[in-house]
Amino acid sequence: MADHHEEEVLGKAYDARLMRRLLTYLWPYKWHALTSLVLTILSAPLVLTGPPLTKAAIDLFLAPDPSKPPSGFALFLKHLADRCGFGGSAYQGIAFIAIVFLLANIAAFAVQYTQAIVMQMMGQYIMYDLRKEIFARLQKLSVQFYDRNPVGRLMTRLTTDVDALNEMFTAGVIAIFGDLAMIFYIVIWMFEVNWHLALVSFAILPLLAVLTTWFRLGARSSFREVRVRIARINAFLQEHITGMPVVQLFNREEKEMRKFDNINQAHRKANIDTIFY
């Protein structure tokens, strides 16, 4: 027979059916998710204002080229600086660019702060629903189920695993769209500046895709091993803390300490392995 402390066999790393079930918990808070998505997309151009503003400052005020009149974003900034009374000298122009950059950073901070609050609120609501549903399910299971599964492992499901799902909802689902929006803005700007150099920069993408795949496969197995090890620690601690009088009665403190030391070392090793990925 298998040791009841052993974790069950883990399924596929990505299960589309399971993912659809998890996303149903997102539906009651769809307006939180939509608001966060809009704020994430809005924050992308604000975060990326530094390079365009630096380029405009150089082209307009530091090293202007008379043979190349300003156009696009630089021309817009020049008209705006003239309208605000900062177009009289290079010093005033640089000051205007600095003010615009400061305002963009303040706006980016405000948008990202609001987005973080909305996402964290949504995550806490989803965690509340998940834990309530899991506990209701546990109350309906048979006594044999609790004989086969240590309470420590079930506690891991209610705490650590639910927290991991919270990370998925708050820092995963919506963040993907934010990253895609940022990549979109960067690519558009690179082609706007110089499409030849943009194509040269993209030449590294195949190697980057290979390295990303290698990292994903290694990190996935490492973090899943950590999940197994923490479940074993929780199961061991729960059983031995509640059964400590029995351990002391049979004078097994040293033997149980060695068992815990082995489990704890395995957990430490699993976490160290994640560092190399």
For the chain, the domains span 16-193, 200-277
Report d(CA 172, CA 128) in Å as an integer: 18
The mean-pLDDT minimum among 10-19, 181-190, 239-248 falls in 10-19
| 8 A C-beta contact, residue 115 and residue 40 | yes
Q: Which residue has the tokens 């199961």?
A: 235
Rg (CA), the chain: 28
Residue 11 confidence (pLDDT) above 80: no
Residue 244 confidence (pLDDT) above 60: yes
What is the overall mean pLDDT for the chain?
Answer: 82
Mean predicted confidence (pLDDT) in 125-141: 86
| 8 A C-beta contact, residue 96 and residue 84 | yes
pLDDT at residue number 14: 54
Mean predicted confidence (pLDDT) in 172-196: 80
Mean predicted confidence (pLDDT) in 92-107: 91
pLDDT band at 277 (very low <50, low <70, confident <90, very high): low
| 8 A C-beta contact, residue 71 and residue 208 | no
Residue 184 confidence (pLDDT) above 90: no
Report d(CA 88, CA 102) in Å as an integer: 21
For the structural domain made of 16-193, what CATH number should be given? 1.20.1560.10
Percentage of the residues of the chain whose pLDDT score is greater than 70: 94
Residues in Cβ contact with 45 at an 8 Å cutoff, skipping those fewer than 6 apart: 185
- Judge if pTM exceeds 0.75: no
pLDDT at residue number 158: 78
**DSSP state letters, 12-70:** -S--HHHHHHHHTTTGGGHHHHHHHHHHHHHHHHHHTTHHHHHHHHIIIIIS--TTS--
Model pLDDT for residues 141-171, shown as the tens digit of each residue: 888 888 787 777 777 777 777 877 777 777 7
pLDDT at residue number 9: 45
Residue 77 confidence (pLDDT) above 50: yes
Residue 10 confidence (pLDDT) above 70: no
pLDDT at residue number 113: 92
Largest CA distance in the chain: 92
pLDDT at residue number 7: 52
